[in-house]
Each structure stands twice: as structure tokens, then as C-alpha cells.
């Protein structure tokens, strides 16, 4: 009997240690801890979910897959991502349909260096389940053109190439706090066109999300957290065109102590995944 009591106490001790060492905690916008189940139950009722990640964070990538798989049991999904650019949609479609293999996709599309480890599982989930996967981001060369010459630099593009960006002229509010913060963060390297380059990405992603959205479906979009934090960026453009839709947002942050959300991370999204800053990164 004594041995059973000792083992029971040891088990409780391990559980306590594991709880203390948990590498992430999920919070709601008010900074209250919530369960994954609560987040899932809330988001499954939405029309669109913007999953803001830290690009090299393995917890975010794991939860992206888990959430997608769980939402798929509840709703018909459409997937999309910042990590594939709009002019690579044909190549992506060929991969999804089985026309080409991964090696061919990797050689013909401009995949991110961490695609194989971090995004291929999401694309393959779409492939295995017959889901649409939208390449939503503006081709980087056009964002570079905006950085060098402002929005007007895009006016000279041939009509076929304009199909890969948001319709011009795009709406633009340089006073949005997120855009102003870019100028602050970049200091001497900041310029108005730098913010415009961010805006053309946000506008284009929102454009292709809405272009591919179907009523009654749930669109799950994966993007860097900064593109949807504080209900700005992509979401600002989505709400500008379709304010009646129900949106859900997720952000990912890192902290030394995950057990209390820092003030600066409160309110940046409907759900905040707070990851231990000691977590190994994917690159």
C-alpha cells in the first residue's frame, strides 16, 4: 500500500513539473487562459480564420496542422497562405491534382526555404482531402517595385501581370497603427514606400482570399502574425470589402514566462498562442 501511495505522489509530481514546463499557453484577447478546445469551438463558427504565425516557430506550425485537421471534421475548408505567391497558383494546382510531384513543384515554384518542414504538411493535407489551397501573396518582385517607386510603379505592368495583385488603385491608410509601427521599428531605414510594400501584400492576400471564398465554407489562411495582428493588415482589407463576414484571428508570440500574457501581447488577436522563448526554431 505504501508503494502505491509513493508512486501516486511521484505521478502527481511529474504532472506538476510537466504543467510548469508546458511550452505554450493559449490566451483570449483579454489575456485569459483558454483551452485549445475552446479556441476550436469558437473558430469553427467563423467564415474566415487568419492564423498569424512566427515563421520559424514549430509550435505555431504544429497547431496550424492540428487546428486545420480538427476544423476539417466540422466544416468544409478552403486553405490559403502567404508563403506561396499568386503567380505560382498554377504550379500549386498541378501538385494538388497529382499532375506533378513535390520535386517538380520545388523546382518550378518559388517555395520558401522552410516549406518542406513547415508548410508542405498543410499543402499535403489539402491534397489528400481534395481541398483548394490558395497562393495568396503578391509576387515579391512587385512588392519590391512598390518599395522602390510607390504604388504608381505598378501602373505600367502588363494587364496579365496585374492579375497577380490586388486591383489598382488599392485602398490605403498609412496612419494605421501597425503601419506606423513599421516606421518606428525601422528607424533610419524607414520610408513611406516601405509601408506601401507591406500594404500591397496585405491587400493582395485579402483580395485572393475573397476571390476564392465560397459562402458556407470556412477559409483558413496562414500568414505572418504581423499581417493580421491588432485586427489590421489583411483583416482591415477583408472587412473593407466584406464587413458582414465573421472573422477569427490567431497570433503567435514568445515570452520567457508563458504563464501570464504580457500587456503588449494582450488584445492583438482573438486568440494568442504564447510560446516559451526557449523553444527550438525551425531555422
Q: How confident is the model at residue 189 (pLDDT cuts 50, 70, 90)?
A: confident
Q: How is residue 57 written as a grid cell? A: 516557430
Mean pLDDT of 269-283: 97
Mean pLDDT throughout 224-244? 98
Q: How is domain 24-276 classified at the architecture level of CATH? A: 3-Layer(aba) Sandwich (3.40)
What pLDDT is recorded for position 231? 98
In this structure, of 4-13, 17-26, 54-63, 224-233, the range with the lowest mean pLDDT score is: 4-13
pLDDT (tens digit per residue) in 25-42: 999 999 999 999 999 999
pLDDT, tens digit, for every residue of 48-106?
A: 999 999 999 999 999 999 999 999 999 999 999 999 999 999 999 999 999 999 999 99
Q: Is the pLDDT of residue 13 over 70?
A: no
102-145: pLDDT as tens digits = 999 999 999 999 999 999 999 999 999 999 999 999 999 999 99
Is residue 188 pLDDT above 90, yes or no?
no
Reply yes or no on whether the pLDDT at 200 is more than 50. Answer: yes
Of 145, 85, 79, nearest to 109 (Cα)? 85
What's the pLDDT score for residue 257?
97
Higher pLDDT, 194 or 17: 194
Residue-level pLDDT at 21: 73
Amino acid at each position: 500500500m505504501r508503494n502505491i501511495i509513493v508512486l501516486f505522489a511521484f505521478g502527481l509530481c511529474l504532472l506538476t513539473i510537466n504543467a510548469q514546463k508546458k511550452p505554450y499557453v493559449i490566451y483570449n484577447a483579454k489575456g485569459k487562459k483558454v483551452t485549445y478546445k475552446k479556441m476550436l469551438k469558437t473558430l469553427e463558427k467563423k467564415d474566415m480564420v487568419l492564423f498569424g504565425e512566427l515563421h520559424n516557430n514549430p509550435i505555431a506550425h504544429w497547431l496550424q496542422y492540428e487546428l486545420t485537421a480538427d476544423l476539417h471534421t466540422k466544416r468544409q475548408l478552403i486553405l490559403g497562405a502567404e508563403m506561396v505567391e499568386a503567380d505560382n497558383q498554377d504550379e500549386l494546382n498541378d501538385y494538388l491534382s497529382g499532375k506533378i510531384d513535390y520535386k517538380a513543384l520545388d523546382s518550378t515554384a518559388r517555395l520558401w526555404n522552410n516549406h518542406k518542414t513547415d508548410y508542405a504538411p498543410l499543402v499535403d493535407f489539402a491534397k489528400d482531402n481534395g481541398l483548394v489551397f490558395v497562393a495568396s501573396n503578391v509576387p515579391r518582385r512587385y512588392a519590391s517595385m512598390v518599395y522602390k517607386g510607390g504604388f504608381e510603379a505598378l501602373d505600367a505592368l502588363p494587364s496579365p501581370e496585374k492579375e497577380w495583385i490586388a486591383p489598382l488603385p488599392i485602398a490605403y491608410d498609412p496612419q494605421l497603427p501597425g503601419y506606423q509601427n513599421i516606421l518606428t521599428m525601422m528607424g533610419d531605414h524607414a520610408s513611406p514606400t516601405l509601408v506601401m510594400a507591406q500594404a500591397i501584400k496585405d491587400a493582395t492576400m485579402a483580395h485572393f482570399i475573397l476571390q476564392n471564398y465560397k459562402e458556407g465554407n470556412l477559409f483558413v489562411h496562414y500568414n505572418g502574425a504581423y499581417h493580421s495582428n491588432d485586427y489590421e493588415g489583411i483583416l482591415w482589407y477583408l472587412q473593407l470589402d466584406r464587413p458582414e463576414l465573421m472573422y477569427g484571428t490567431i497570433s503567435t508570440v514568445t515570452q520567457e514566462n508563458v504563464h501570464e500574457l504580457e500587456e503588449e501581447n494582450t488584445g492583438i488577436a482573438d486568440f494568442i498562442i504564447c510560446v516559451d522563448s526557449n523553444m527550438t526554431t525551425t531555422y
